Every structure is written in structure tokens, then in C-alpha cells.
Homo-oligomer: A and B are copies of this chain.
Amino acid sequence: MPRVFRPVDITQEEKEIRKDYFDRHTPRILCPESVRRGEVFRVQVQVGEHYTHPGETDHYIGLVQLWNRETLLAETRYSPQALAGKPGNIQVDWYITAPEVSMNLTAMSYCTQHGLWTSEPRAVKVV
């Protein structure tokens, strides 16, 4: 399988030294901590917080995925034309329906030059 860059594998020191590199590739999940069974809720994923990522045809973030444990829930692709050749932060909002049991979400992002990155896991309690 391709190497996956994971926050848990990266030491604090390494993160400091190359903080722009890690920041601009690692996806972050923003969503409620707790949702009601059957409720539709928004899951926002952002890639890059303090640094922007290039938006060039040979170097851009083209794919963001949302997983609940082993299940792929949603996937968004951006083409470089959506970025108009400008650096920026990828963002997408999905709207999903809370299932019967609590969720453990992770987001993945794919950079055409620097491969596959995962977010920290994000627990969402279903009440």
C-alpha cells in the first residue's frame, strides 16, 4: 500500500522543523461531538490551517475522503481549475445522517506530489 502520513507517526520535533509541510497537508475534521440518531449534520474538512498549499496543475490537493472506521462515507475531488492556479486551503462540507451507533471519523487527503495524509480520528457520539 502507499505510505500514509499520519499525525501519530510524526514526532513533535519533526512537526516543528517542517511545520509548513505537515500543516498544509494534514486534514482536520470539524463537526459536533455528539449527534442524535437519524440527525443530518455537517462535517467540514479543512486541509491546511496556518499555511496555504499550491493550487497548480502539477501540484494540488485533488481528493479528500471521509471514513467512519472501515467505511468510506464521502469523497470530494477538486480539479486544479477550481483553485484558479492560486495557493489556498482546501475545504469541503458534507452533510451526513447519524447512524445507530457512535462513529469514529477520519479524513484523508491526497496531494498529487506528496501523497496520502490522514487526520486525527474524531469520535462522534450518537445519542
Measured CB to CB, the residues of A under 8 A from B are 1-4, 6, 38, 40, 55, 57-58, 63, 66-84, 86, 88, 90-100, 106, 108, 110, 112, 114-116, 118
How far is A37 from B74 in the complex, measured between Cα atoms in Å? Answer: 30
Q: Is the interface of A mostly helix, strand, loop or mixed?
A: strand
* Cβ of A61 to closest chain B Cβ, rounded Å: 12
**Other-chain contact of A38, B78, B84, B99 (Cβ < 8 Å):** B84
CB pair B79 A112 closer than 8 Å: yes
Identical copies in the complex: 4
Give me 21 A-to-B residue pairs in the complex whose CB atoms sit less than 8 angstroms apart, sorted by A's number: A1-B4, A1-B108, A2-B67, A2-B71, A38-B84, A38-B86, A58-B80, A63-B72, A70-B116, A72-B79, A72-B110, A72-B116, A73-B81, A75-B77, A76-B77, A82-B97, A84-B98, A84-B99, A84-B100, A86-B97, A90-B95
**Other-chain contact of A95, B3, B91, B95 (Cβ < 8 Å):** B91
Report B-chain residues with C-beta under 8 Å of the C-beta of A112.
71, 79, 81
How far is A58 from B88 in the complex, measured between Cα atoms in Å? Answer: 19
**Other-chain contact of A74, B40, B77, B98, B115 (Cβ < 8 Å):** B77
